Amino acid sequence: MLIGDTLIVDTFAEAFRLRFARLLVTAHDDHWLAAAVDSTCGYGTSVIGCDAEAGLERRLPAESTPDGRPGALVMFFAFSAESLASAVANRVAQCLLTCPTTAVFDGLAAASDRIPIGSHVRFFGDGHEKAKIVGGSRFWRIPVMDGEFLVEESAGVAKGIGGGNFIVQGRSLEATLAAARRAVAALAPLSGVITPFPGGVVRSGSKVGSRSGALKASTNEAFCPGLAGRAGTTSLHPEASSCVEIVIDGVDENAVTTAMVAGIRAAAGPDVPAISAGNYGGKLGKFQFALRQILQAS
């Protein structure tokens, strides 16, 4: 199967079940909103080593937010509701409470499973915090130096999917990076997905386990150009000299599929001889996204 000059390898992306939360963050202006999002999503690339995978879902205009200020939907993914609760509460306390002018609203109001956010952070108010009911939801008003930090008491948790992916193989580093940026830009407007790695891209694609046994994951040598011909079977196209992976977390299979299709179509081009995907032979996750199948169905 070809998209233009780009071969779509007959393989599948393997993904797995995660739990996720979604917060709506608002701020006084775009500057402080960006600062809040950047800080909150920092060190949130992979559940292999981070407390959660975190990323910006999409920005919202002021007319679409509860307090009429610029907003952003931020998503967090983790293996369990318990680990998610710890990660989200800590990030709200350390990154959103501290950022000037922010307020935090739950982005999954319909979810029956809940984790604490405001009920955890409120203790910073040292007894001066006040509870407030707005639209049937409970909020905490915590006094801070620029006024008050308004934060919803709890956030919803739902089942999501982590690890949707595709691997862009370019004839040069420049071509690979340009294709990756096209893919990430195509995903930016979509709802229900994030790309948690730096700039939406990971160069250190991994396999399960390691020779030392000390690591849960290690470099996927089949996609390392410097090891082609030296480390067993390579999965690189003969004309590829560089590759990177786009990892996608989403609210459900449809969201991940839509994002993969949009990203693959945007990445394909004359200097991209192949697009593949990462999997573990179907042994890691219950979700398999066959590249050719999802593209043909779209």
Segment 188-201 shows an average pLDDT of 97
Q: What SS3 class is residue 232?
A: coil
The whole-angstrom separation of Cα 162 and Cα 285 is 9
Nearest one of 88, 91, 254, 206 to 157, comparing CA atoms: 88
Q: What SS3 class is residue 170?
A: strand
**4 and 269 Cβ atoms separated by less than 8 Å:** yes
**241 and 174 Cβ atoms separated by less than 8 Å:** no
> What local confidence, expressed as pLDDT, does residue 231 receive?
60
Q: pLDDT digit string (tens) for 142-191?
A: 999 999 999 999 999 999 999 999 999 999 999 999 999 999 999 999 99
Q: pLDDT digit string (tens) for 250-274?
A: 999 999 999 999 999 999 999 999 9
Q: Is the pLDDT of residue 16 over 70?
A: yes
- Tokens in use for 284? 């890691």
All structural domains of the chain, each given as residue ranges with its CATH number in brackets, are 2-15+160-297 (3.30.70.520), 19-158 (3.30.70.520)
DSSP state of 202: B
Q: Is the pLDDT of residue 26 over 70?
A: yes
Q: Is the pLDDT of residue 8 over 70?
A: yes
Report the predicted TM-score, pTM, of the whole model to 2 decimal places: 0.95
Confidence tier at 230 by pLDDT (50, 70, 90): confident
The whole-angstrom separation of Cα 282 and Cα 163 is 13
Query: What mean pLDDT is reported for the chain?
Result: 95
Q: pLDDT digit string (tens) for 41-70?
A: 999 999 999 999 999 999 999 999 999 999
> What local confidence, expressed as pLDDT, does residue 215 receive?
82
Q: Is 137 exposed, middle or buried (0-12, 13-18, 19+ CB in 10 A)?
A: middle
Q: What SS3 class is residue 8?
A: strand
**22 and 163 Cβ atoms separated by less than 8 Å:** no
Which element (helix H / strand E) includes 20? strand 12-26
Segment 202-216 shows an average pLDDT of 86
